[in-house]
Amino acid sequence: MKKVLGACPLDCPDACSWVVTVEDGQAVSMRGNAEHPMTRGALCVKVNRYLEQTRAQDRILHPMRRVGRKGEGRFERISWDEALGEIAGRLDEVTAAYGGQAVWPFQGTGSLGYIQGLEGFAGRRFFNVLGASIHDPTICSIAGSRGLKYTLGTSGGMDPEDFARSKLILLWGTNPLTSGHHAWKFIQDARREGAHVVAIDPVRTRSAAQADEHLAPIPGTDAALALGLLNVIVRMGAQDQEFIDEHTFGWDAFRARIEEFPPARVAEITGLPEDRIVALGERVARTRPTAIRATQGIQRHAGGGMTLRALACIPGVTGDWALPGGGLCYSTSGHFKLNLPGLVRIDLLPHPVRTLSMTRLGEGLLDVDDPPVKALFVIGANPVGSNPHQTKVRRGLAREDLFTVVLEHFPTDTTDYADIVLPATMQTEHLDVIAGYGHLYLVWNEPAVAPPGECLSTSETFRRLARRMGMTEPSLYDSDEDLARQLLDSPHPSLAGITVEGLREQGFARLNVARPFLPFADGFPTTSGRLEFYSKRATRVGHDPLPGFTPPADAGGGLVLISAASHHFLNTTFGNNPELRRRSGAPVIVLHPDDAAARGISDRDAVRIYNDRGSFEAVAEVSDRVRPGVAATTKGHWAKFNGGANANATVDERDSDMGGGAVFHDNRVEVARAEPT
């Protein structure tokens, strides 16, 4: 028997450290690492079934070649030699006819590993030598990250462990009890010391139900609410003028902007009672330290970047950025100054290449023609299940002239469209390094067991493909441990003392930063060195220099559809797990009683949710858990198990205000009772 330290690779802020017990070469149990200060010995309801998932009956164990039409999901088993030969041959044909940019390495958040996953763009060195297009992972958090950089100079914020020091915590558009539940432990620590918790969310989520107070604004109006709270604070004279004078830029102009958002106007925009806005503004004004927790869902609309700009300004006005337990936590990834350039090696590109947006896969496959995309590699992703405009994505993937290779664990909605499917290792079967975006620890993942069947890691797959194609660049053949050492080879002081040997022994290491962590104690990483209420950088790219309110773009009739994280799936990961599917049940759409009555819908009715982009079916839940005008469902359901579509069938391929982010929550739909079959 042995204990092996590992790390959860999934798209969650918590990046848990885990311990796998191995007997006779088999992983027999997995638990959270009790030594890790964030994990504290607990995993989530999803990852508790991870070992079961690695042994699932539908696990892909061998390379496969398509034998049916695209979308049918019919394949024959082939050897690795055949698979690599066919891929190499097709890539040679594509690059000879159209150039390397006709190849799109499409990477998703199925793994956030630096060696095997998205954070290190696994396989990117191979694609650089090939001259392939660059994949821009815009689908998750880019709008908010870009907005924060205009204000703070970084997307990195406060340490979630310091929530324990807060006296007021605003859970703004986030549901930690479902997505990143380890932060809740620090929130509970604060509550025991008298902290007040406010949830701001159009839906009464698990976390909102546990909060001391819940405000339900109209989706996409959070920036207006932030400015309204600041209006109350400034009218009270409660701003921290000393902090403003010494640490911010552009206050006079921003103060004039704040004056444009009195509580009465904000009440009209947000749909909240004016007295609730005033009361919360007064509470923020008199409570130090105040912490704001905001995660990715809040910025998936037309004004997502502007929303995070506005939220980051609140602790700039109150001075909370200078206080332990104060500030904003959107992500901590901005604090990890790893040697990503040395890992990814963009310098290997033979010439500048174009960038293709993850959010616009359908458009990229159907409309881009200079050159057209002729070869697609899908790595750690299930875009048919997770991308906007599902119908358009299917049309693009169905092209017979598109050569598609999918590296996968299971036969997903996307593998059905592959020409070649390659069996990929799971986290207990390969080496990796993980950095949480919800804590300040690097986490080491040691392989615990041998891969089943003929599964290969992503890194080994591209080493073998490079060899098959005769590529001579030496760095293409670096081992996983070599890659990990190169990643840590950074002069940044936050990485001082962190080594492969130390990570491997302990399983994790905290960044070399103070505790408590004040991220801007030495100034803000902006051009001015200050928090920038007024951003000249934003102006240069055509944005308003000041934070403001950008209304939702889809402002027609119907209901606003919120497709939030599921408690039982993580994106579409675990969407095939029988027990988690049983617990989740069929897709549900939550409707306010007024909206249900207006449509003749009763509780538990089968309904169709639709717009001009597509439709999906669900079971109605009539409840005041949602505010009027909002329909709420959860993402992650596989289309093949639910009538061929999920909520993303209705979402547009349209950019948010900053960075080209996705607009999953800027989406109007109509709901009607389903016709009997």
pLDDT tens digit sequence for 209-225: 999 999 999 999 999 99
Q: Is residue 51 part of a domain?
A: no
Instruction: Give the pLDDT band of residue 555 (cuts 50, 70, 90).
Output: confident
Provide the token pair at 117.
């996953």
> Is 657 found in the same domain as 614?
yes
Average pLDDT on 584-590 reads: 97
Q: Is residue 282 part of a domain?
A: yes
What is the sign of the dihedral through the CA atoms of 108, 110, 116 and 119? Answer: positive
Buried b (16+ CB within 10 A) or exposed e, 228-260: bbbbbbbbeebbbeebbeebbbbbeebbebbee
CA 332/CA 436 separation, integer angstroms: 7
Q: Is residue 476 part of a domain?
A: yes
Average pLDDT on 554-572 reads: 95
- Given a cut of 70, whether residue 575 has pLDDT beyond it is yes
Which structural domain range is residue 375 located in?
A: 64-139+342-430+451-482
Radius of gyration, CA atoms only, the chain: 24
> Is 146 found in the same domain as 134?
no
- Given a cut of 80, whether residue 473 has pLDDT beyond it is yes
- Taking alpha carbons only, the member of 33, 13, 48, 15 closest to residue 163 is 13
Q: For strand 420-423 and strand 403-408, is the pairing parallel, antiparallel, or unpaired?
A: parallel
> Is 191 found in the same domain as 280?
yes
What CATH number did the domain enclosing 395 receive? Answer: 3.40.50.740
CA 156/CA 313 separation, integer angstroms: 14
Query: What one-character DSSP code corresponds to residue 10?
Result: S
Provide the token pair at 215.
């405000």
Chain centroid to CA 100: how far? 29
| Percent of all residues in the chain with a pLDDT value above 70, rounded to a whole number | 100
> Is 254 found in the same domain as 323?
yes
Q: What are phi and psi of 231, to 5 degrees?
A: -60, -45
Q: For strand 668-673 and strand 559-564, is the pairing parallel, antiparallel, or unpaired?
A: antiparallel
Q: How many angstroms separate the first and last alpha carbons of the chain?
A: 55
What CATH number did the domain enclosing 605 receive? Answer: 2.40.40.20
pLDDT in tens, 9-44: 999 999 999 999 999 999 999 999 999 999 999 999
Q: Is residue 299 part of a domain?
A: yes
Average pLDDT on 629-652 reads: 97
Q: Is residue 553 part of a domain?
A: no
> Is 277 found in the same domain as 400?
no
Beta strands per DSSP E along 206-259? 213-215, 248-249
Query: What one-character DSSP code corresponds to residue 290?
Result: E
> Is 186 found in the same domain as 113?
no
Nearest-5° angle of CA 140, CA 142, CA 144? 105
What CATH number did the domain enclosing 174 receive? Answer: 3.40.228.10
Q: Is residue 115 part of a domain?
A: yes
Provide the token pair at 101.
């940019």
For residue 276, give Cα distances in angstroms to 7, 13, 69, 271, 590: 42, 30, 57, 11, 24
Contact status, residue 348 vs residue 622, Cβ threshold 8 Å: no
Model confidence, pTM: 0.97
- The pLDDT of residue 556: 80
- The pLDDT of residue 372: 98
What is the sign of the dihedral through the CA atoms of 614, 620, 621 and 622? Answer: positive
- The pLDDT of residue 677: 63
> Is 152 found in the same domain as 135?
no
Provide the token pair at 355.
């960038």
Q: Is residue 605 part of a domain?
A: yes
Residue 664: partners with Cβ closer than 8 Å, 6 or more residues away: 300, 388, 563, 635, 648, 651
Contact status, residue 66 vs residue 75, Cβ threshold 8 Å: yes
Long-range contacts of 61-67 (CB under 8 A, 24+ apart): 61/423, 61/452, 61/453, 61/454, 61/455, 62/423, 62/453, 62/454, 63/420, 63/421, 63/422, 63/423, 63/454, 64/418, 64/420, 64/421, 65/419, 65/420, 66/418, 66/419, 66/420
> Is 373 found in the same domain as 265?
no
> Is 193 found in the same domain as 123?
no
H or E element in which residue 582 lies:
helix 578-584
pLDDT in tens, 329-369: 999 999 999 999 999 999 999 999 999 999 999 999 999 99
Residue 621: partners with Cβ closer than 8 Å, 6 or more residues away: 588, 589, 590, 591, 603, 604
Q: Is residue 584 part of a domain?
A: yes
What is the sign of the dihedral through the CA atoms of 543, 549, 552 and 557? Answer: negative
> Is 356 found in the same domain as 311?
no
Contact status, residue 458 vs residue 116, Cβ threshold 8 Å: yes
- Given a cut of 70, whether residue 629 has pLDDT beyond it is yes
pLDDT in tens, 492-543: 999 999 999 999 999 999 999 999 999 999 999 999 999 999 999 999 999 9
Across the chain, mean pLDDT equals 97
> Is 466 found in the same domain as 372?
yes
Contact status, residue 30 vs residue 20, Cβ threshold 8 Å: yes
Nearest-5° angle of CA 416, CA 427, CA 465? 60
CA 260/CA 74 separation, integer angstroms: 59
How many domains, in total, are found in the chain?
Answer: 3
> Is 190 found in the same domain as 100?
no
